[in-house]
Amino acid sequence: MPETRTIRVEALSRVEGEGALNIRLRDGTIENVQLNIYEPPRFFEALLRGRPLEEVPDITARICGICPVAYQMSSVHALEAALGIGISPEIRRLRRLLYCGEWIESHALHIHFLHAPDFLGYESGIAMAADHPLEVRRGLRLKKHGNQLLEVLGGRAIHPVNVAVGGFYRAPRREELAALIPDFEWGLEAAVDMTRWLAGLPFPEFTRPYEMVALSHPDEYPFNEGDVASTAGYTIRVSEYERRFEELHVSHSTALQSQRTETAGCYFVGPLARVNLCRDRLSPAARRLADDIIGFETPCLNPYKSIIARGLEVVHVYEEALSILRDYRPFQPARIAFTHRAGEGCAATEAPRGLIYHRYRVNAEGLVEFAKIVPPTSQNQKQIEDDLKAYLPSIMAEPDNRVAELCERLVRNYDPCISCSTHFLKLHWDRR
């Protein structure tokens, strides 16, 4: 009689959105590993059809409450490409600043509330606060800075209202931004301290031969623009993205999964990919920290160390945000005027949790005819399953609940944001 052992995490915790994990072992060998995303489908790509293109950033924001800016930025860039709009350097800087806000907020949240508790053995950041009050309070303060920046630039932190195709509805007043500078100066130092703390966490020895993919820009750390670069050695234009990467609707009842078109292999997006690929474009303080203080070695192929990459990125965005804040002057126009025309355009930006790709076709009336949205988590999903398959043999001896717990931790490395159910499926439970 072959012995079947099924391990299930029915609801992943401390991830954004809802997912489950199904592992089936038969006679000690892995039969199946599924990261199931049971987020109900919300059909964004379909419901965008026929909507005025001006509304797209408001609607795509609602794909994900954790990284709405990433969706807004990717969609406005893609639509601007479709309409042939060139934005001004001032608008571009302000958009980077907005992205800084989201990165700080999202990274601080993930680090302190979702991820670090794993390394220190807590069920939550709130529980961790009892023993590590300074770290958690510092983390909350950083997180708040991110939100404050989003509030000034976007009106509110979740689903900001100020992002428009062509720019912003209103450019902030100088005093509004200048008021943030003292906090950000404090935050920059706090972020350095935080990252040193993170670098000292106990990391499992676990590495994989990842192909890492991130945007890459010659002069900047990638947020909003660049080519798509891979540690496999190639760099492509964003317009070629869909040729290199494809989405599959897999039968074993999970979300659409991205994979490399040629190899059907998986790939890795997110902070660790970015740091590996763009380390030299980190801000001076972040580079100094990586090089001299914590001695962060790249390429780093240990997914647990994503938390350090996140820390380095927090330092980077504080420094970049500060320089934008200090130099800011209100400008006109806040939004480039445009006329409707038929066209198609795509864009990729870097959400806190990785590369995000959008493509739209619009008609001459200014209505959306077609939308395609590839969120970061659908790109990492196959990689996560692959990691789990590689990891399981080493922990198979543990009891089920321990296996489940360890697997969940591995998943959290990716900061998966699975509420972005542009096209995720409901799971068929395997209840055998």
Partner 1 sequence: MTYRPKLAVFKFASCDGCQLSLLDAEDRLLDVAGAVDIAYFLEATSRVVPGPYDVALVEGSITTPHDAERIREVRRQSKFLMTIGACATAGGIQALRNWADTSEYLKVVYARPEYIRTLATSTAIADHVPVDFELRGCPINHHQLVEVIAALVAGRRPRTPGHSVCLDCKRRGTVCIAVAKGTPCLGPVTQSGCGAICPAYDRGCYGCYGPVGQANVTSLADHYVNAGTSPQQLVPLLRNFNGYAPEFRKESERLAR
Q: Can you tell me the distance from the alpha carbon of 181 to that of 203, in angstroms, rounded to the nearest whole number?
A: 34
Place of tokens 């008021």: 179
In sign, the C-alpha dihedral spanning 199, 306, 190, 185 is positive
Q: How far is the CB of 27 from partner 1 (least distance, A)?
A: 29
Q: How far is the CB of 3 from partner 1 (least distance, A)?
A: 28
Q: How far is the CB of 191 from partner 1 (least distance, A)?
A: 16
Residue closer to partner 1 (CB basis): 84 or 121: 121
Q: How far is the CB of 95 from partner 1 (least distance, A)?
A: 15
Residue closer to partner 1 (CB basis): 160 or 311: 160
Amino acid at 192: V
Q: Write down how long the chain is.
A: 432
Beta strands in 241-342 (DSSP E): 245-249, 256-260
Q: Can you tell me the distance from the alpha carbon of 236 to that of 230, in angstroms, rounded to the nearest whole number?
A: 9
Residue closer to partner 1 (CB basis): 44 or 210: 44
- Is 269:275 a contact under the CB 8 Å cutoff? no
Q: CA nearest 158: which of 223, 108, 115, 105?
A: 105
Q: How far is the CB of 170 from partner 1 (least distance, A)?
A: 4
Contacts with partner 1 by CB under 8 A lie at 11-18, 39-47, 49, 51-52, 55, 58-59, 62-66, 68, 109, 113, 117, 123-127, 129, 136-137, 140-141, 143-144, 147, 155-159, 161-162, 164, 169-170, 248-249, 251, 253, 256, 408, 417, 419-423, 425-426
Q: How far is the CB of 260 from partner 1 (least distance, A)?
A: 18
**Count of CB atoms situated within 10 Å of the CB of 1:** 4
Q: How far is the CB of 289 from partner 1 (least distance, A)?
A: 24
Residue closer to partner 1 (CB basis): 41 or 393: 41
Q: How far is the CB of 63 from partner 1 (least distance, A)?
A: 6
Q: Can you tell me the distance from the alpha carbon of 329 to that of 42, in angstroms, rounded to the nearest whole number?
A: 40
Residue closer to partner 1 (CB basis): 90 or 211: 90
Residue closer to partner 1 (CB basis): 29 or 124: 124
Exposed e or buried b per residue across 131-153, where buried means at least 16 C-beta atoms within 10 angstroms of its C-beta:
ebeebbebbbebbbbbbbbbbbb
339 phi, psi to nearest 5 deg: -115, 155
Q: Can you tell me the distance from the alpha carbon of 158 to that of 422, in angstroms, rounded to the nearest whole number?
A: 18
Residue closer to partner 1 (CB basis): 269 or 368: 368
Q: How far is the CB of 333 from partner 1 (least distance, A)?
A: 11
Residue closer to partner 1 (CB basis): 28 or 40: 40
- Is 155:161 a contact under the CB 8 Å cutoff? yes
Q: Can you tell me the distance from the alpha carbon of 203 to that of 392, in angstroms, rounded to the nearest whole number?
A: 17
- Joined together, the tokens standing for residue 193 give 């301290």
Residue closer to partner 1 (CB basis): 49 or 326: 49
Q: How far is the CB of 247 from partner 1 (least distance, A)?
A: 8
Helix (H) or strand (E) holding 82: helix 68-83
Q: How far is the CB of 160 from partner 1 (least distance, A)?
A: 9
Through-space distance between the first and last CA atoms of the chain, rounded to whole angstroms:
16
Amino acid at 84: G
- Is 370:361 a contact under the CB 8 Å cutoff? yes
Please spell the DSSP secondary structure of 262-291, one letter per residue.
TT----B-SHHHHHHHHGGGS-HHHHHIII
Residue closer to partner 1 (CB basis): 169 or 234: 169
Residue closer to partner 1 (CB basis): 155 or 299: 155
